[in-house]
Chain A
């Protein structure tokens, strides 16, 4: 459904009302800074260019330019801070249409859609690294981490928010136009902090419902011999120690307790083939890259916690057939 994202992002291309206020504030501050900088350069040039001493009345300049001027700017900025932060805190009682849990892992994003909340889909939806969101609907993200501190950042969506283990942070926004955005972890989180990105697909509400219904369904049943062989490989080899495929392997770590969030090791692969990218937006999700990623994860993303799983070529090909059928 989505095109690959090629642009990094741009803070000054806001896609939410809150980010719009921040962008406006940024331009305003840049303009004031530019004027003040020209004045500083002017005084400096005067200091170097004039032939004789200029008795300006230095004290008046110091008080006026160094005290009164910044004080006025600071007062204005304080007011604007409150005005711009207002967008970040929705009015009390305004329930978000959709609540999504985002859980940071070294070095990928676990994404869990909370059932209900206006959506017709009631089943559990768990995915990774790609956040599909409806436009024009208030969305709430609940952010936490399973290991170290990470930070959720999409430049076009305004504020970033840290994912702190043991705490849940919130981020609320309403995206006002459809499109694909790229986000990236903004808090240093270890070896592959650089390759811990994610995508946001902002889509119309009906398209979102279709996507969510598909994701809520269990994994497609394999239809060819090769796919069936691939499923067996997945179940028998190390893959199923870390990755879930709902309906096939529900409890990869064998630790499933009351709190399902705490035992996730690797991304849920139930609808892997529906995603655009692999390894937290490191490579495109096509047959070649998927095969390379499984055969030798450390060359694609050195320092990744995914180990190489020794498979013979036949096993790998059938596994690819199976994984690519998981739409």
Chain B
């Protein structure tokens, strides 16, 4: 069924395409496609769907719910710390909420939130009809959801994890934590790891094989580069934490003594395993955030991203270097000087790719049109200001003697909230506002988003800036209370007040998005004048995305090519020929992207794309580097088995938690049966 159709990108250029028209069409034009791709109505269709857009929205709603939960936990913590010697929360409640705040925010909100963006946007931006493995994609989501429910069941039974989100041994061994609290944690993160790992593999294959004809890797939109980098990082980093969680559970359930100093084990082994994942994890949630910013800023500035190729190189370099940083979480653990020096150097060097990106965003803004201050741009600007500050303290904590002075103090709490909220959550808010009209077809409220930004920006800095000073004043992390004689009172009170302002900002975002979705004004298909393919589609896009495969001849498919002859200028500005240099060379600084219609192809030597036989999902595969060598393939359709398999993993986790061999055996059999049925079920 596959046909090597075309020799190179030139063949896919508009002139060679059989027919030119917009990449999408009205529903009536594509009834057969609609019938093939639309889910059945009702609960059955909802459960069985493999539509990356529905799964993406589901991921987003679930992850944002975890943001809400993690945020409420944070408010409880800040309320407890607002005044000294507070007995609002006891140490037990505080330690559980603190542990679950960190765990929830990083693992069940932040990482899955980028799975949401990636799921929704990657197939649209690369001109594909779905992810490469649609059922695996559904499995990722169900496991994400069920693992979250599993961990949160611990609150219902009064045994929430309380060993800190890092769960250092031996505190988390069965000797010092005899309850089931840490079992929920260790089993839960191992369980969730399946979701994140298969999600990463799915993104990699999707990006490498499903790109539209002509979209060579050099023309992959920058958000795609960041998701690709994030996914490679996930599949290399995640096994470490899965191993840490599984070995911790083996210590607890089977008495393995892997981390027990009295049994020839070593607690530092656990710390290494945890941070080998834990540090890249920070970049796993930062890199795709930069992808959102690198998409939004050029769109608002009407100028292609400055130093485009250098930014992509920076993204990839950050991914590599981030694996050489983990020991900087352990500078106080008493490691040899040489080891500390190596990791210190790597921690410093990672400032360079970040510096390149920051300067690229700033110069894009300066060289572009004066931008309108809509919520996506406001959050992007808030990101730059906040992330830069977090980056400076990041360089400071890379310096070993300074790190040894302030590690595990509130200075570090301030630092990583600057890089996580500033560097990741603000871009997420920017992205939500930017793509909301595409996902829903509705416009957000004209000023509520701006007010939300103001509250989040001000609230954030009031909450976290004082924590730098508290750290320098000797306030350690993870304390549930402090004495009134220590001089920490008013800064803590200020920080707690800020937390409520910050929370109010997030509530405003939630209200805005929910109300706008429910009864907002209709939005145009392309409200911002975006450069990537999703803006050529109706809002919301049809279930099959593209009626015919778009043909891509530029890294900015909707902005067209620079004028003929300019492409040979050759500089660091990207393979499209450097618009900045074009502007200078022509003395014509007002470079304005021209919106071009996207050419499409519908037919390869008899393989018809938009008239699928038997209602099957049909999609286009292309070659890894050049996106030529087009194949048409039949994709797996909707299925119940991903959910069934995920439910089996939930039962397996519960069996391990209850130490029940019977449940473990039955669950394993069910997983094997689901796996078998999954593959038997017709596409």
Binding site for B on A (CB under 8 A): 6-12, 18-19, 21-22, 25-26, 29, 33, 36-37, 40-41, 43-44, 46-48, 50-59, 61-67, 69-71, 73-74, 77-78, 80-82, 84-85, 87-89, 106, 143, 147-149, 151, 153, 155, 158-162, 164-167, 169-170, 182, 184-195, 302-303
Contacts and interface: CB of A to CB of B under 8 A. Distances in A.
A55 B572 contact: no
25 contacts: A11-B473, A12-B472, A33-B395, A40-B358, A48-B370, A53-B303, A53-B589, A59-B573, A61-B363, A62-B306, A62-B360, A66-B357, A66-B360, A69-B355, A70-B352, A77-B399, A81-B341, A148-B170, A153-B474, A161-B332, A166-B266, A169-B334, A186-B408, A186-B409, A194-B482
B663 interface: no
Contacts of B349: 74
B625 interface: no
Given A33-B393, A37-B389, A164-B267, 14 more contacts: A10-B472, A47-B362, A53-B367, A54-B589, A73-B395, A78-B348, A149-B168, A151-B332, A160-B332, A164-B268, A167-B268, A188-B477, A190-B171, A302-B91
B164 interface: yes
B364 A58 contact: yes
A74 B366 contact: no
A157 B479 CA distance: 21
Given A58-B367, A164-B267, A66 B385 contact: no
B472 A8 contact: no
Contact of B352 (A25, A40, A67, A191): A67
Interface of B: 90-92, 95, 163-164, 168, 170-171, 176, 261-262, 266-268, 301, 303, 306-307, 310, 332-334, 337, 341, 344-345, 348-349, 351-352, 355-360, 362-371, 373, 381, 384-385, 388-389, 392-393, 395-396, 398-402, 404-409, 471-482, 485-488, 571-573, 580, 583-584, 589-591
A29 B396 contact: yes
A169 B268 CA distance: 13
B366 A50 contact: yes
Given A59-B573, A169-B334, A302-B90, A8 B401 contact: no
Nearest to B177: A190
Nearest to B572: A59
The winner among A22, A53, A62, A151 for most chain B CB atoms within 10 A is A62
A298 B385 CA distance: 46
A168 to B, nearest CB: 8
A184 B471 CA distance: 12
A162 B332 contact: yes
Contacts of B384: 40, 44
B364 A41 contact: no
A264 B367 CA distance: 69
B474 A10 contact: yes
A156 B400 CA distance: 17
A41 B345 CA distance: 27
A191 B486 contact: no
Nearest to A166: B261
A82 B401 CA distance: 9
A182 B366 CA distance: 50
A44 to B, nearest CB: 6
Chain A to chain B: the 6 pairs with minimum beta-carbon distance, closest first = A166-B261, A47-B365, A9-B474, A159-B404, A169-B334, A58-B306
A197 to B, nearest CB: 8
Given A56-B367, A58-B367, A303-B91, A193 B478 contact: yes
Contact of A155 (B164, B398, B473, B591): B473
Contacts of A151: 332, 408
B363 A62 contact: yes
Nearest to A194: B479
A64 B481 CA distance: 46
A33 B399 CA distance: 14
Contacts of B487: 7-8
Contacts of A41: 385
Contacts of B364: 58
Contacts of A182: 474, 486
A44 B365 contact: yes
B352 A81 contact: no
B473 A10 contact: yes
Contacts of B92: 191, 303
Contacts of A58: 306-307, 360, 363-364, 366-367, 573, 580
A85 B401 contact: yes
Contacts of B471: 11
Nearest to A23: B405
Contacts of B333: 162, 164, 169
A88 B92 CA distance: 37
Contact of A26 (B301, B348, B396, B475): B396
Given A54-B366, A81-B344, A66 B371 contact: no
A8 B357 CA distance: 39
A80 B589 CA distance: 44
A196 B408 CA distance: 14
B171 A149 contact: yes
A29 B589 contact: no
Contacts of B368: 47, 53
Nearest to A83: B401
A51 B267 CA distance: 59
Given A59-B571, A59-B580, A192 B363 contact: no
B402 A36 contact: no
A167 B334 contact: yes
B401 A81 contact: yes
A59 B369 contact: no
B54 to A, nearest CB: 38
Contacts of A50: 366, 370
A9 B395 CA distance: 24
B491 to A, nearest CB: 11
Contacts of B268: 164, 167
A160 B330 CA distance: 11
A186 B360 contact: no
A320 B408 CA distance: 38
A22 B337 contact: no
Nearest to B95: A191
Contacts of A143: 334
Contacts of A48: 365, 370-371, 373, 381
B399 A55 contact: no
Contacts of B478: 188, 193
